[in-house]
Every structure is written in structure tokens, then in C-alpha cells.
């Protein structure tokens, strides 16, 4: 009797938390649809049909909505074991639908993706050599972020090739196309996360909610239609392939049982998994961090060969389409690594020690710290530590030591954290996300009129 | 026999026990996990401290800027909302410069008057101890400033 009552209370609480999450997301989307907000980038009128319901999205409302969403998410995770799979899927689908219907949130990046695509398709320009400022009269130019107007693309050649068809759709069509791509990529990522959780005998509902109902994932990642969603899909496809070991088919030859398929099938899957990591890295380079851990844990030739074949094919297509600049990922990464954002942890630590910001020498110190962390994790993986967890720790370390930190960068380790054997990774990832959200609240404490 | 175990038995198997690769971690005394967790907690503590300190600092800056904007509107008698603000990032001081149009128009499209704000916030405002004018549509550069007054008359701030 007592347990039934407690169960009912739990279900009511879960319902309230779900409503809070949906309401917070709807508030951001409906207010954002009105535009004229510093939080909503200038955009073609894709969410005009939602106008008139909300008010102009200000920092105060946005921050309150994000805090409510984050608190409800924390409560939801605590109660996740009481939630049925069906309700979890309905909640995550509803959050996705609300964001998909609304405007582009919080970032102009998607317009850079479209600008690079239009440069290649409509203007015959190489996006690895020119910035969007070379297409001043193109209709997408006015939507590109000020900081990125003169910057050539830093994304991998596979992503640039994937984005090219969107350049044929017109700006509005391309925005919807990019939103759809992010939505489908997210659906794929969540499906694969669920699958991996089942393979590892972890609760798939917890895994689904931890990723698919995460406020940064929904509002920043999906809301901005970032290509990180596609990167996460390829990352999880690689992990899923690497984790799944199919049972061998048994045949009898002359009365003896022969198991066929395990070694050969395992080799093929391991090779394909490594190849997928490389494809992911040719979308966005960060995911390459998984490769050494995957290779080290398998200790087979197949992943090395798979990675080399994928790299060869990717480099060949990148070179054919964009020349040598299309495959020079290292210099693009170095350029990005030199940027500094106010939200980055190194900047915050510099302020803590009375420095006005990050200096060039700090970049070297941070890189050295990252190298040490990766070397330690490689050693641990060699000695049997879970390679998925080691990859997740590396992605988390990259985002924490980066001087250029954006909300969607802290999403990288999340799908790995929910399926890792080391549960400290999930706690650490969520703690870092919580600090990132906490860092945003200054305008709530002291608003500037 | 899997390929991995094949390699292990042939090459890697010859390595000393402490260097040999393992399929799963050996159950230890838990000392390493304790050390790792302690390091993680210390890192988290540092990040949390830095975050809280930065939020407090940013809130202080916002509070100061709000007072600066109020002061500019109070001194000029113009209730303009599009004012430009510049903080002393290099010197890390609390000196701010607030500029705005002297007559109605788009931001920066008219002659601008700039005030140098210093000191503490008193009754929601700060002291405008000096300032200068700028021609329309120019960035705030030392060479462009004119009719400097008060503390802004220093050669480091004004050319004439």
C-alpha cells in the first residue's frame, strides 16, 4: 500500500517535471519566434507562424527557462528508473518537435554552413580558401555572424560535401534542411545510445533521457541546428558497431562443431567502426579523439586498416573537391584553438588568479595538460580500462581545456558518458554542464537596462 | 583463438606483467580510484570556484554599467537606449567610457558625447569626472576626440 502510494507520488512528480521541461522549451521557442532578440540570430522568417503567442525573448526569461529546464532535468534523471520507455520516448520526441518548429536559437553557425555551401554550389568558390565575405551579395550573407564573415570553413570535407545540396535550396529551404538534418541526426544518435546501453546492460531509459532531454542538447545543440549533431551520430554509429558482438553461426563439418563468423565478422565490424570514426572526424575533427582508444582496446590490425582506408578515401574526395586546403584539418584546428571565449574555463581560471584573460603561454600549458591526460588514459586503456569511458574523458578534457568553449562542445562526451562503465564520467560531464549554465546567470543577478 | 589473443601470445605476451595489455582491468585495492576521484573533485572545486568568482565579477560589472548608463542619461537629459560602453580591459580598472548621440538619430550617426566614469556607485550613479566629444560615425580613437574636459584632458586620453 505504502509502495503504491510512493509510486503514484513518483509518477506525479515525473509528470510535473516533464511539463516544466516542455514549458521551458516552449517559452524559449515561442518568445524566440518573435525575433528582435540578442539571443535569436537574424534569420529568414521560418517561424513566423508562431509569432504573436510569445513576447520578445530577453536574457531574464531565457535564463529562468534554462534554469527551470536544468533543474527539472536533474530531477527527471534522479527518477528516471521509474519512467516507462514509452513516456521517455514521448517526452524526448515532444522536446525535439517544439525546437524543430521554432526559429534558429542562440547561434549564427547554421548560416555559416549554408554560406559555405552556397559559395561552392552557387558561386563556384572554394570555402576552404574564402570566407562568406566573398559572396557579399548573396542573400545568406546578411545572416552570417560578424566574427565569421571573413573566416574560411574549419569543418571537414565530408561535412562540406554533405552540406552542398543544401546550397541549392534557397536560404529558407536550406535552413529547414539543416534543421531536419540535425533532427534526424539527433534521432539516430539517441537510437544508437539506447542500443549501446542495452548492449552494456545499462538502463536505456536513463541513457535516453540523459542525452535526449538534456537542456544544452535540446536548446543549444538542436536549437542551433549544429553540425555537432551529425558528428555525434557518426561517433555513436562507430561505438555501436564496435560494441556489438554478434554470436557466431555454428555449422557441423564431419561431426565437429565449427564456429564461423566471429573472428571475420568482428574484424569487419572493428574496421568499419574505425572507418566511421574517421568519417566523423572528416565532418568535425574532434571525434578523432576516439580512434587511438578504439585501436588500443581492440589490439587488432582491422581498425587500423579501416581507419587508413576511410582516411584515404576521405582525403581523396576532399582533395578532388577542394584541393589541398580541403584536407588541411590541422591548420584549421590550430586557428580555432587560438580563439578565446568568455565562457571558457581557462578564461574563468585566469580571472580567478587576477589575470585579465588567457595569454599565449597559457595555450601551451593547456595543450601540455591535455597531452598528459590523454597519455594517462591511453595507458589505462592498454591495461584494460573501458575505451568508451577513456574516449569520453578525452572529449570532456578537450572542452574543459579549450579556450574557445561553446555550449554544444560540452555535449560531445555526453552520449559516451551514459554508456561508459565508469559512472564518474557522467557525473563529471553533467557537473561541467551545470557550471556552464551557472556561468550564464550574471544578467539575472544584475541586469543591464 | 581471436586475433588479439594471437598477438598477445606471440609479441605482447613477452612484455613484463606490469606492461602487458589486458582485456579487463585487474581488480585493485581501490587506491588508484581514490586518487583519481580526489583529483577530479579538486579540479571540480577549482572550476566551481572560478565559475562563482566570474559570475560575481560579471554581476559587479553589470551593476556598474547599469549605473554608468543611468549617469549618462541623467547628465545629458536624453533617455537614449543605444549607448556604447567601453571598459578598461587592459588596465583591469573600473574606469568605463559611455558614449551616445548629442541629438536624436541612429546610434553613432550624430556627434557623440562620451563620459569617463570612475569611482564607486552612489545612489545608483557614478561620477562622470571627465569626457570628450566624437564626430558622427567614427570609432572612439584618441585622435578623433575633441573638446575634452575634466579628467579626460590628460594627453593619454585626448590629443587637444
Q: Which pLDDT band holds residue A42 (cuts at 50, 70, 90)?
A: confident
What pLDDT does residue B90 have?
A: 61
User: How far is Cα A67 from Cα A42, in angstroms, rounded to an integer?
Assistant: 25
Interface predicted TM-score (ipTM) of this complex, two decimals: 0.84
- The predicted structure's pLDDT at residue A267: 81
Q: Which segments of A79-169 does DSSP mark as H helices, in order?
A: 85-101, 109-121, 157-163
Q: What is the C-alpha to C-alpha distance for residues A27 and A50, in angstroms, rounded to an integer?
A: 11
Q: Which pLDDT band holds residue A254 (cuts at 50, 70, 90)?
A: low
What percent of chain A is modeled with pLDDT above 70?
94
Segment A110-144, tens digit of pLDDT: 999 999 999 999 898 999 988 898 898 999 999 99
**pTM higher than 0.90, yes or no?**
no
Report DSSP state, residue A135.
Answer: G
Q: Which of A228, A266, A234 is closest to A107 using CA atoms?
A: A228
Q: Name which of A136, A162, A166 is nearest A149 in CA terms.
A: A136
Q: Which residue of B has its CA nearest to A442?
A: B59
Alpha carbon separation from A73 to A65, A69, A84, A214 (Å, rounded): 12, 6, 16, 7
How far apart, in whole angstroms, are the C-alpha atoms of residue A195 and residue A203? 10
Nearest to A435 among B23, B26, B48 (CB): B48
Other Cβ atoms closer than 10 A to A151: 17
pLDDT reported for residue B41: 96
* pLDDT (0 to 100) of residue A263: 63
Alpha helices by DSSP H, listed for A200-257, are 204-212, 215, 228-243
- Residue of chain A minimizing CA distance to B80: A449
**Which residue reads 541612429 in cell numbers?**
B106
pLDDT for res A351? 86
Return the pLDDT at B4.
Answer: 44
Containing H/E element for B17?
none
Kind and range of the H or E run holding B95: none
Cβ-based contacts of A356 with chain B (< 8 Å):
89-90, 92
**Cα torsion A58, A64, A70, A72: sign:** negative
| Cβ-based interface (< 8 Å): residues of A facing B | 262-263, 266-267, 296, 298-302, 345, 347-349, 351-352, 356-357, 380, 382-385, 400, 424, 428, 431-432, 435, 438-439, 441-443, 445-449
Query: If you average pLDDT over every residue of chain A, what do you get?
Result: 88
Residue B147's SS3 state is: strand
Yes or no, beta carbons of A349 and B51 under 8 Å apart: no
Of the two residues A80 and A8, the one the predictor is more confident about is: A80
Confidence check: pLDDT of A247 > 70:
no
B interface with A, Cβ–Cβ < 8 A, is: 2-4, 7-8, 12, 21-26, 36-37, 40, 44, 46-55, 57-60, 62-63, 65-66, 69-70, 81, 89-90, 92
The closest of A174, A157, A136 to A43, measured between CA atoms, is A174
Of A298, A300, A431, the CB nearest to B44: A431
Site of grid cell 514549458: A23
**Rounded distance between C-alpha atoms, residue A335 and residue A285, angstroms:** 13
Q: Tell me the nearest-neighbour CA distance from B160 into chain A, angstroms.
A: 31
Q: Given an 8 Å threshold on Cβ–Cβ distance, is A424 in contact with B92?
A: no
**d(Cα A356, Cα A12) in Å, to the nearest integer?**
48
Residues A152-188: tens digit of each pLDDT: 888 889 999 999 999 999 899 999 999 999 999 999 9
Residue B6 has pLDDT above 50, yes or no: no
Q: For position A165, what pLDDT does the model report?
A: 94
Q: Are A446 and A59 in contact (CB under 8 A)?
A: no
Read off the pLDDT band of A4 (50, 70, 90): confident
B13-33: pLDDT as tens digits: 777 777 777 777 777 778 888
Q: What is the crossing angle of helices A290-298 and A262-281, to 10°?
A: 170
Amino acid at each position: 500500500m505504502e509502495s503504491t502510494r510512493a509510486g503514484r507520488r513518483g509518477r506525479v512528480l515525473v509528470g510535473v517535471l516533464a511539463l516544466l521541461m516542455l514549458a521551458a522549451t516552449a517559452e524559449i521557442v515561442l518568445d524566440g519566434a518573435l525575433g528582435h532578440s540578442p539571443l535569436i540570430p537574424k534569420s529568414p522568417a521560418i517561424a513566423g507562424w508562431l509569432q504573436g503567442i510569445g513576447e520578445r525573448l530577453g536574457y531574464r526569461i531565457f535564463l529562468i527557462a534554462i534554469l527551470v529546464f536544468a533543474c527539472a532535468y536533474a530531477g527527471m534523471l534522479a527518477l528516471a528508473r521509474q519512467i516507462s520507455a514509452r513516456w521517455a520516448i514521448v517526452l524526448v520526441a515532444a522536446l525535439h518537435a517544439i525546437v524543430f518548429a521554432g526559429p534558429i536559437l542562440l547561434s549564427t553557425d547554421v548560416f555559416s554552413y549554408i554560406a559555405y555551401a552556397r559559395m561552392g554550389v552557387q558561386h563556384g568558390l572554394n570555402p576552404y580558401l574564402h570566407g562568406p565575405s566573398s559572396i557579399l551579395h548573396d542573400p545568406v550573407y546578411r545572416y552570417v555572424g560578424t566574427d565569421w564573415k571573413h573566416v574560411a570553413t574549419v569543418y571537414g570535407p565530408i561535412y562540406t560535401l554533405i552540406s552542398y545540396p543544401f546550397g541549392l535550396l534557397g536560404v529558407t529551404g536550406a535552413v529547414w534542411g539543416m534543421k531536419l538534418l540535425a533532427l534526424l541526426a539527433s534521432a539516430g544518435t539517441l537510437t544508437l545510445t539506447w542500443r549501446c546501453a542495452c548492449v552494456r546492460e545499462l538502463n536505456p531509459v536513463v541513457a535516453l533521457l540523459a542525452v535526449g532531454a538534456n537542456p544544452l542538447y535540446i536548446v543549444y545543440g538542436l536549437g542551433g541546428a549544429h553540425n555537432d549533431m551529425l558528428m555525434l551520430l557518426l561517433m555513436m554509429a562507430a561505438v555501436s558497431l564496435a560494441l556489438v558482438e554478434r554470436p557466431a553461426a555454428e555449422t557441423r563439418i564431419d561431426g565437429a562443431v565449427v564456429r564461423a563468423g566471429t573472428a571475420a565478422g568482428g574484424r569487419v565490424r572493428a574496421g568499419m567502426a574505425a572507418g566511421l570514426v574517421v568519417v566523423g572526424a572528416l565532418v568535425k575533427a574532434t571525434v578523432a579523439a576516439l580512434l587511438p582508444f578504439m585501436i588500443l582496446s581492440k589490439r587488432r590490425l582491422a581498425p587500423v586498416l579501416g581507419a587508413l582506408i576511410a582516411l584515404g578515401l576521405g582525403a581523396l574526395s576532399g582533395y578532388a573537391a577542394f584541393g589541398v586546403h580541403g584536407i588541411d584539418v590541422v591548420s584549421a584546428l590550430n586557428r580555432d584553438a587560438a580563439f578565446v571565449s568568455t565562457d571558457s574555463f581557462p578564461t574563468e581560471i585566469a580571472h580567478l588568479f587576477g589575470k585579465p584573460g588567457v595569454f599565449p603561454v597559457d595555450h601551451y600549458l593547456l595543450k601540455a595538460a591535455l597531452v598528459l591526460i590523454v597519455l594517462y588514459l591511453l595507458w589505462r586503456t592498454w591495461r584494460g580500462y573501458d575505451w568508451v569511458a577513456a574516449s569520453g574523458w578525452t572529449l570532456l578534457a578537450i572542452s574543459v581545456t579549450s579556450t574557445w568553449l561553446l555550449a554544444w562542445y560540452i555535449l560531445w562526451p555526453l552520449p559516451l558518458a551514459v554508456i561508459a562503465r565508469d559512472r564518474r564520467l557522467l557525473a563529471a560531464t553533467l557537473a561541467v554542464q551545470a557550471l556552464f549554465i551557472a556561468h550564464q546567470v550574471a544578467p539575472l543577478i544584475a541586469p543591464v537596462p | 583463438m581471436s586475433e588479439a589473443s594471437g598477438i598477445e601470445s606471440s609479441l605482447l605476451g613477452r612484455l613484463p606483467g606490469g606492461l602487458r595489455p589486458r582485456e579487463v582491468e585487474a581488480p585493485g585495492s581501490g587506491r588508484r580510484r581514490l586518487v583519481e576521484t580526489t583529483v577530479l573533485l579538486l579540479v571540480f572545486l577549482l572550476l566551481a570556484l572560478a565559475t562563482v568568482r566570474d559570475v560575481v565579477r560579471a554581476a559587479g560589472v553589470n551593476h556598474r554599467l547599469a549605473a554608468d548608463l543611468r549617469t549618462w542619461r541623467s547628465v545629458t537629459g536624453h533617455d537614449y537606449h543605444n549607448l556604447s560602453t567601453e571598459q578598461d580591459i587592459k588596465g583591469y580598472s573600473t574606469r568605463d567610457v559611455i558614449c551616445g548621440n548629442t541629438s536624436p538619430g541612429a546610434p553613432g550617426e550624430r556627434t557623440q558625447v562620451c563620459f569617463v566614469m570612475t569611482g564607486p556607485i552612489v545612489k545608483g550613479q557614478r561620477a562622470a569626472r571627465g569626457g570628450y566629444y566624437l564626430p558622427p560615425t567614427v570609432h572612439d580613437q584618441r585622435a578623433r576626440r575633441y573638446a575634452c574636459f575634466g579628467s579626460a584632458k590628460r594627453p593619454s586620453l585626448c590629443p587637444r
